[in-house]
Amino acid sequence: MHVLILGGTTEGRRLAELLEDAPGLRVTSSLAGRVAGPRLPVGEVRVGGFGGVSGLAEWLRTHHVDVLIDATHPFAEKISFHAAEAAAGAHVPLLALRRPGWVPGAGDNWHLADSLPEAARLLPRLGRRIFLTTGRLGLAAFAGPASAGLWFLSRSVDPPEPGTPVPARMELLLSRGPFALDDERELLRSHRIEVLVTKDSGGAATAPKLAAAREAGLPVVVVRRPPVPPGVREVTSPEEAAEALRGR
């Protein structure tokens, strides 16, 4: 059985590890190639896009893929919907692997938003010094008039592409998780952060920033994650995905 994992996440790499020595199973992990120096999973790996829905469907047919697993980032909405459409067109079963989202706890001061532009509109009434952890691809949402007068510390793995609109007052911090709680505490203190902005990515690697913000009494703007495409089965752990494959 040939399994194609659309990966690039911790969960995708873990699933590849779980399936590495499974008898009668060929596993290919596909990475989008948007991050410089990505962490590669074990086994067979391809890097780069497929050329849209038709290209992915053709790849599934040509390489005789029996199961497609969407283990992309919870906010990789476009590829998830492309995967659903391509899998349906190629008559290949699709499984979505999504880590559980974060849940606010006692002492959290969360402000929910449905998009990055909505998150930007919330900021002026919450604070002036913003810790932005939504990634380089969403910086343009914070470059508009709503963000005038605000200062941003933007943390991402790679810098934004040349020509990308960015906030007028911004310091760029290039760093890759996981992040330790003590380091997040010091970052908030040393940069005098007043508001944290994050996507509901879930997982443990970047969760310490939420704990540090809670301890400091800071408001947190949380962008809700997009839904899994309709009709797609969803699992929440690599172990659950591996078990579903064994069941086939």
CATH number at residue 36: 3.40.50.720
How much is the pLDDT for 177? 85
Please indicate, yes or no, whether residues 230 and 215 belong to a single structural domain of this protein: no
State both tokens at 227.
Answer: 């839904």
Query: Of 195, 198, 196, nearest to 222 (Cα)?
Result: 198
How much is the pLDDT for 118? 97
Distance of alpha carbon 150 from alpha carbon 129, whole angstroms: 6
Please indicate, yes or no, whether residues 131 and 184 belong to a single structural domain of this protein: yes
Number of domains in the chain: 2
Domain membership of residue 169 (yes or no) is yes
**Inter-CA distances, 115 with 72, 100, 174, Å:** 19, 19, 23
Domain membership of residue 105 (yes or no) is no
Domain membership of residue 211 (yes or no) is yes
Instruction: Output the DSSP codes for 90-157.
Output: HT--EEEE-PPPP---TT--EEEESSHHHHHHHGGGT-SEEEE-S-GGGGGGGSSGGGTT-EEEEEES
First to last CA, the chain: 9
Please indicate, yes or no, whether residues 211 and 137 belong to a single structural domain of this protein: yes
How much is the pLDDT for 228? 86
Structural domain of 185: 110-223
Please indicate, yes or no, whether residues 149 and 187 belong to a single structural domain of this protein: yes
How much is the pLDDT for 204? 85
Please give the average pLDDT of every successive group of 10 residues along the chain, which has 248 residues. 94 95 93 78 92 96 97 91 96 95 95 97 97 94 92 95 94 93 98 98 91 98 92 94 87
Q: What's this model's pTM, rounded to 2 decimal places?
A: 0.85
Please indicate, yes or no, whether residues 83 and 117 belong to a single structural domain of this protein: no
Please indicate, yes or no, whether residues 125 and 154 belong to a single structural domain of this protein: yes
Distance of alpha carbon 19 from alpha carbon 24, whole angstroms: 10
Distance of alpha carbon 201 from alpha carbon 206, whole angstroms: 9
